[in-house]
A and B are shown apart, each in its own frame.
Chain A
Amino acid sequence: MDITLAVNGRQVTASIEANTLLSALLREGLALTGTHVACDTSQCGACTVLVDGASVKSCTLLAAEAAGATVVTIEGLAADGALHPMQQAFHDEHGLQCGFCTPGMVMSAVDLVAGNPDPSEAEIRAWLKGNICRCTGYQNIVKAICAGAAALRSA
């Protein structure tokens, strides 16, 4: 089947199988390999992207369900070569180590602060329930999201 969707500001038409996952379309069909697949059971959140503004685990959404939607992946966050404030905050606060969970963490954080511009530490930690990081112990990710939220508030 053919579907059309907007990915990172670009209209894309793709020929997919009915069982193609959004993560597979992004990674294999569109070569947007920043979206990572790490657990196969919707636990880890490395595949998180924004679909119509909401963070979604793209390994758990059929690509067909994203037909007509606006999708933003980690590749679509930086504008004109400048890091998005949340990306910048992860850099500033050392919120990443091996980098594999990072795209999902950043996308999830962007959605959090869109709905809750000034989240408490507890709210951030609760929000990150669906994102697993094995390297950082989360502490600097939490710090980064606090800092990213502050930067976005003052932007």
Chain B
Amino acid sequence: MTQDGIGAPLRRKEDRRFLTGRGRYVHDIVRPGQLYAVFLRSPHAHAEILGIDTRPALAGTGVVAVYTAADTAGKINGVPCAWGIAGKDGKPMKEPPHPPLALGKVRHVGDPVAMVVAESLAAARNAAELVQVSYKVLPAVTGVADAVKPGAPQLYDDVPGNLCCDWAVGDKAKTDAAFAKAHHVARLDLVNNRLVPNAMESRAALAEYEPATGDYTLYTSTQLPHVARVLLGVLMLGIPERKFRVVAPDVGGGFGSKQVVYAEEALVTWAAGQLERPVKWVAERSEAFLSDAQGRDHVTHAELALDKDGKFLGLRVATLANIGGYVSTFGPNIPTNLYGPLLAGAYTTPAIYCEVKVVFSNTVPTDAYRGAGRPEATYVLERIVDVAARDLGLDRVDIRRRNFIAKDAYPYQTPVMLQYDTGDHAATLARALDLSGWSGFAARRAGAASRGKLRGIGIVTYIEACGLAPSRIAQQLGARGGLFESANIRVNPSGDVSVFTGAHSHGQGHETVFAQLVGELLGVPSANVEVVHGDTARSPFGLGTYGSRSAAVGGAALFKAAGKIIDKGKKIAAALLEASEQDIEFKNGAFMVAGTDRAKSFVEIAGAAYTPPPSYPLETLEPGLEETAFYDPVNFTYPGGCHVAEVEIDPETGVTTLVAYTAVDDVGTVLNPMIVEGQVHGGVVQGVGQALCEDCVYDPESGQLLSGSFMDYCMPRADDLPVIVSATESTVSAHNPIGVKGCGETGTIASPATVMNAVVDALAAYGISHVDMPASPQRIWRAIQAAAPRAAAE
């Protein structure tokens, strides 16, 4: 192994540019002669557009163009969905058109209505205020439970009941039969609150067009440049790939919100072509709140059937999922395929049935947000397990242990599609109990009580699906493309290495981790490996980064490409060493004749590939040393683990403080423990945000977004958090050649349920069995007030 290869906590290669202010985000890019675009957005949640008068805006100083749907209709196709789903009846989901600028009707506050392009940002902003739009305001519906009620405002004439899709997974009859013989049924109604991803870099797009060649270049803050090129270029704009370069330079966080393709990206590209000048748009934060795809937003009823020993017999889940005003890129897939199949969790529940009504409402569309469906599933399951434990008077750890899938039962086929590869829940549980000091909790609770605080502890054992995705399975579930990943390894003549990946890094550290991986595989110091990503003109077609897929799928593609490099290197070495190819071994960065000391270094082989010596068999072996591989996984990967949280609640104020958090995760092979730990920290805290403070709130009457800035939408700050204790307890994934499972989402998947289990535990004395997220001071205080008289009376 190289010193800085697999498993080394190598410091990041990308840091220096970020630490010295030399990062290059789309915000930072300036092209000669660039124009500035501003979008006029709907102030109404639901309205007919009666007319738009752009003349006053066009008369503004410095204004170059004002576009509305009248200009783009027939020129730019609708915003496409990349993953369609089908309902219980086998029929495809309702997929109404999503025009890039609102056509006839607006369906959420923030729906783009017009694009103003001007010589300066100030001129564009001023002109946007001069666009006159007359609206006929319609009744709006924002809550998902309201949207399915009879008589609710209808977003689309041809989508009755606002129902995009009535979806289900699992065996209903078998599940009903399990409930019929149950000793006990635990029941739970819960809300999974809507969230705003809020990557720190707001979305931005800068397009330019070269009239002499017809070439377009789009710099955009995306997680999937190649996919964006197809969806925006080919499908929306009719620009073939060869004429459309998409560059995702440094991207300041994504969390799923940038795996969506957006109207603004297509519109600035189109405008650049129309005007033959670069056009730049940068979202303001308030605009990001009104236009970035949001996350979660479920209303769920769940029931868990148990036998007298606390074994789970069946799980029944009915969810209403709010997908907002339009079908987003992956929108309907998130609360269905990435949710229902995760409900088995770490347990042997033999019968599961989940139905999901996917519903339109007058809100910003929802799509993937870190974890994407899997945190929602884990929340349902891990909350109802706690409810069941309390109903039956069972210990929360014990009930989980009784139902674990045993280590030797893997690979394990769940009743909801997935086949898990490996896992050891007993091991992660034991480690988490130890690290969290679970057994000493009673003393800490007593200590808190003496200070007037309510202390609670919560535990979650989880498993999730990562490494999206096997193309065959994904396509069976409605994906409209493959989900493999690509890798190109170019060994340069001097023996250093350029790596081109179709994955994209927006904080994950691929430039470091992929260099470690390739360095290890080729026996080259990682310092000599440069990783290139985020440019369709440089990397082979790949699917980008989301769903904790980069290491599991992109890493496996690199493994394959490295294998091809080594195979060719052996051929070259055999010729140079006058040995049989079968006798060449590649070890410690050298090609050697087995059992001898005759060897050629990696650098010598690279040199020979580009400067073939007389012994190089050019007749049968091509010169050069560069290989491309595409890897399509055989299955998802299944990270899992156990998290423990402790909270203290001040009953006087309702303020909940997270005082301890332990995360033990099975992420498979750890390529760089420093980066894994960083991913876990960040993931946990995003989930803590959902549990304790984040809440995207719409006014139910007007449909206005009430939490539309960082002043209203509360995200965790440094002083809201304890030190997170994290550890890995890994089993190697059997589903890819490097054994990795993924670590980007584990924290966010486990932590909301973990924290809320602790909150409910803290409130147990009041007889409170559930509180919805976020556990804001107001909500907790009200819950205590409502319960206190009851508790006092008992």
- Residues of chain B within 8 A of A46, CB atoms compared: 200
Are B286 and A128 in contact, CB atoms less than 8 angstroms apart? no
* A110 to B55 CA separation, bound complex (whole angstroms): 51
Contact flag A34-B20 (CB < 8 Å), given A97-B682, A136-B682: yes
Which of A32, A92, A133, A141 is in CB contact (< 8 Å) with B21? A32
Contact flag A98-B21 (CB < 8 Å), given A40-B286, A135-B253, A135-B507: no
* A100 to B28 CA separation, bound complex (whole angstroms): 11
Closest A residue, CB atoms, query B713: A43
* A128 to B719 CA separation, bound complex (whole angstroms): 7
Interface status of B681 (Cβ within 8 A of chain A): yes
Are B253 and A132 in contact, CB atoms less than 8 angstroms apart? no
Are B674 and A134 in contact, CB atoms less than 8 angstroms apart? no
Are A132 and B21 in contact, CB atoms less than 8 angstroms apart? no
Number of interface residues of B (CB under 8 A): 56
Interface status of A94 (Cβ within 8 A of chain B): yes
- Residues of chain A within 8 A of B105, CB atoms compared: none
Interface status of B711 (Cβ within 8 A of chain A): yes
Are A134 and B715 in contact, CB atoms less than 8 angstroms apart? yes
Residue among A73, A78, A122 having the largest count of chain B Cβ atoms under 10 Å: A78
Q: What are the interface flags for A74-110 relative to B under an 8 Å C-beta threshold, 1 for contact and 0 otherwise? A: 1101100001000100111010111111110010000
- Residues of chain A within 8 A of B719, CB atoms compared: 122, 125-126, 128-129
Interface status of A154 (Cβ within 8 A of chain B): no
Nearest CB in chain A: distance from B406 CB, A: 33
Contact flag A98-B200 (CB < 8 Å), given A41-B285, A134-B253, A135-B507: yes
Nearest CB in chain B: distance from A82 CB, A: 11
Are B199 and A137 in contact, CB atoms less than 8 angstroms apart? no
Are B253 and A98 in contact, CB atoms less than 8 angstroms apart? yes
Q: What are the interface flags for B694-733 relative to A under an 8 Å C-beta threshold, 1 for contact and 0 otherwise? A: 0000000000000001110001111101011000000000
Number of interface residues of A (CB under 8 A): 54
* A76 to B686 CA separation, bound complex (whole angstroms): 32
Nearest CB in chain A: distance from B570 CB, A: 37
Are B710 and A125 in contact, CB atoms less than 8 angstroms apart? no
Closest B residue, CB atoms, query A24: B121
- Residues of chain B within 8 A of A126, CB atoms compared: 718-719
Chain B 672-692 interface residues, beta-carbon cutoff 8 Å to A: 674-675, 677-678, 681-686
Chain B 739-784 interface residues, beta-carbon cutoff 8 Å to A: 747
Residue among B20, B675, B683, B716 having the largest count of chain A Cβ atoms under 10 Å: B20
- Residues of chain A within 8 A of B149, CB atoms compared: none
Are A90 and B253 in contact, CB atoms less than 8 angstroms apart? no
Nearest CB in chain B: distance from A73 CB, A: 7
Interface status of B135 (Cβ within 8 A of chain A): no
Interface status of B284 (Cβ within 8 A of chain A): yes
Are A87 and B285 in contact, CB atoms less than 8 angstroms apart? no
* A33 to B27 CA separation, bound complex (whole angstroms): 8
Are A41 and B681 in contact, CB atoms less than 8 angstroms apart? no
Which of B19, B507, B718 is in CB contact (< 8 Å) with A97? B507
- Residues of chain A within 8 A of B24, CB atoms compared: 33
Q: What are the interface flags for B12-35 relative to A under an 8 Å C-beta threshold, 1 for contact and 0 otherwise? A: 101111111111110110100000
- Residues of chain B within 8 A of A57, CB atoms compared: none
Are B681 and A36 in contact, CB atoms less than 8 angstroms apart? no
Closest B residue, CB atoms, query A26: B21
Are A38 and B200 in contact, CB atoms less than 8 angstroms apart? yes
- Residues of chain A within 8 A of B201, CB atoms compared: 36, 38, 98, 100
Chain B 503-553 interface residues, beta-carbon cutoff 8 Å to A: 506-509
Chain A 16-72 interface residues, beta-carbon cutoff 8 Å to B: 27, 31-41, 43-44, 46
Interface status of B586 (Cβ within 8 A of chain A): no
Interface status of B202 (Cβ within 8 A of chain A): yes
Are A39 and B25 in contact, CB atoms less than 8 angstroms apart? no
Nearest CB in chain B: distance from A4 CB, A: 22
Q: What are the interface flags for B601-630 relative to A under an 8 Å C-beta threshold, 1 for contact and 0 otherwise? A: 000000000000000000000000000000
Nearest CB in chain A: distance from B323 CB, A: 23
Q: List 7 A-B contacts (CB under 8 A).
A: A33-B24, A94-B678, A96-B19, A99-B15, A126-B718, A133-B718, A138-B685
User: Chain B residues in contact with chain A, CB under 8 A?
Assistant: 11-12, 14-25, 27-28, 30, 198-202, 250-253, 255, 284-286, 506-509, 674-675, 677-678, 681-686, 709-711, 715-719, 721, 723-724, 747
